[in-house]
Amino acid sequence: MCGIVAIFDSGDSAENLRKLIIQQAKRVRHRGPDWSGLKEVMNGVIAHERLAIVDPESGSQPLQTPDGTVTLAVNGEIYNHESLRKKLQTPFIFSSKSDCEVILPLYLEKGHHFINDIEGMFAFVVHDSRDGSFFACRDHIGIVPLYIGWRADGGVSFSSELKAIKDDCVRFQSFPPGHIYHSSTCKFSSWYNPSWKQQKSWQDYDPCTTLLTLKEAFEESVRGQIMSDVPWGVLLSGGLDSSLVAAVAMRHMKLCLAAGKIPPWGGKIHSFCIGLENSPDLKASQAVADHLGTIHHNFTYTIQEGLDALSDVIYHVETYDTTTIRASIPMYLMSRKIKALGVKMVLSGEGADEIFGGYLYFHKAPNIDDFHRECVQKLDDLHLYDCCRANKSTSAWGVEARVPFLGKQFLEIAMKIHPSLKACKDPITGDPRIEKYCLRQAFVDDENPYLPDHVLWRQKEQFSDGVGYEWIDSLRALAEHEVTDLMMKQAKFLFPFNTPKTKENYYYRSIFIKHFPQPCAAATVKYEPSIACSTVAAVKWSEDFELVAKESNGECSGRAVRGIHMDAYENVAAIARGIEKSCRIDEGDGMGNH
């Protein structure tokens, strides 16, 4: 990851703007500790803090066209940059091998209408001095963070993180994913409008063909995101998602070595996990690493070390969402250890639960329409939760997390799979089955197993649970000690917007406002009742959910619904032995209507 900050259309002097943006850029330097760049443009200035992963010797930003008229600053990766370069209609003199520089000739050829051509994760700003215009853009899901702010002098600011512009703007907000903001209209417009966001958009594939297509698409997504000129690794919790990423990456690496292509670190893949001593994830990740042959690093942390990092994590992740903070702390601590080993990039398994309905509460989905609708809503909100955590927790130490499950091309295939193949009930028999069923099936290989059966069919663990069950209990105990009953009674007056419902959230909110006291800062966080990471709509799926939400004010841990899929979990062994029966689909009825 890198850090970008930009100020446009300001009435302030160039000298003052330069001084200001240097100070703002320092606040996001942790994202890009390798080099700092700054360009003055017409009525503005752009700064860039670089994390050098592709072409580390050159490629410093901001980048400019050969004549200096167009200036670009990017935070992210353009995975298909080589193919895009080959498709250019007009010759362009590149100044580097940076994957991001291809945006400049694309803009010269197509204006800002080139964005759909890009496969990657990104947030960028472009300034065109030929007419004084500018625009900013954020990737399709919001994998990479971006904020926009409006200044008192009429200027507009952009920043990778809220902390850079919070003191200089009258108002600011999170930049919506899949959108562009152009100075000609001063409005946001959507550039990403996939058909799978519409109900009934799924396609009635033959299940066996679908599984093969899904498998091949995911393998391609992983291969495409292994784009690095520096040492990289994989996050490996031992759960299904990260284990599949690691398995595919390992196979790709073996093929590269067989072809004589020696990547950084000599072709050895390092994997990383963190947890409390004897936590579930540490044991599971070691088993996967032993199967795959990665060089594995199991890091441990103490509860006190985690609690001591709480304020720093809230500052870096810029949220008061309970689930996000619970999971961000161990990820933040792990990222520091990863960086100490010299690693700058890691592959992660974020996104699979949202795509395939992997959270435990999906077992209560009443029908396939609601199942699909919930997946879409979870993806729409992902930039506020898991993407926020994964990006900012790692970027706090200058590490970049890439997410193959959220590749645009893979999403196009995975989100058009018939929901009956994803659902937690067999569409023919109505029997319960384990979550993310079709994803697990797609990687069953008896001759050359991607993963051991006990991993491929492992029960879902939320990250904050998997690192050790005592972790959440300790956070609750701390909040119980710090927040009194009287404070909770007065919460609606102190926090009239998104009023905390639990002492734990109250405590996080009180730390958040110390770092971000501006009223509009609270509005950058979404806060609503949830059951094990569900949306508000899914809470209504079950009377049990509504009861838990009422009694616990919306407990977000996976333990809140642990009992609802035990029948499916007990059937895992039988499922693993009877895979062939899955190649059937009832297109007429769907889940739960038998």
User: 182: closest CA among 148, 215, 230?
Assistant: 148
In whole angstroms, what is the distance from residue 403 CA to residue 77 CA? 11
Dihedral sign, CA of 162, 167, 173, 177? Answer: negative
CA dist 232 → 243, 267, 418, 468 (Å): 16, 10, 35, 26
CA dist 169 → 111, 254, 479 (Å): 29, 50, 32
In whole angstroms, what is the distance from residue 503 CA to residue 487 CA? 9
In whole angstroms, what is the distance from residue 356 CA to residue 349 CA? 13
In whole angstroms, what is the distance from residue 27 CA to residue 5 CA? 10
* Phi, psi angles (nearest 5°) of residue 153: -85, 5
In whole angstroms, what is the distance from residue 307 CA to residue 382 CA? 25
518 contacts 166 by C-beta, under 8 angstroms: yes
590 contacts 427 by C-beta, under 8 angstroms: yes
Provide the residue type at 525 as one letter: V
Angle at 53 between CA 48 and CA 59, to 5 degrees: 50
Virtual CA dihedral for 122, 320, 278, 270, nearest 10 degrees? 10
User: 104: closest CA among 69, 72, 74, 59?
Assistant: 72
Q: Looking at 42-201, list the stretches that DSSP marks H as alpha helix, in order from N- to C-terminal side.
A: 81-86, 103-110, 162-165
User: 355: closest CA among 457, 240, 250?
Assistant: 240
> Which two structure tokens, joined as six digits, stand for 362?
């999906």
Q: Is the peptide bond before 62 cis (omega within 30 degrees of 0)?
A: yes
320 contacts 314 by C-beta, under 8 angstroms: yes
Catalytic residue positions, numbered: 2
Provide the residue type at 131 as one letter: D
* Diameter over CA atoms, the chain: 71
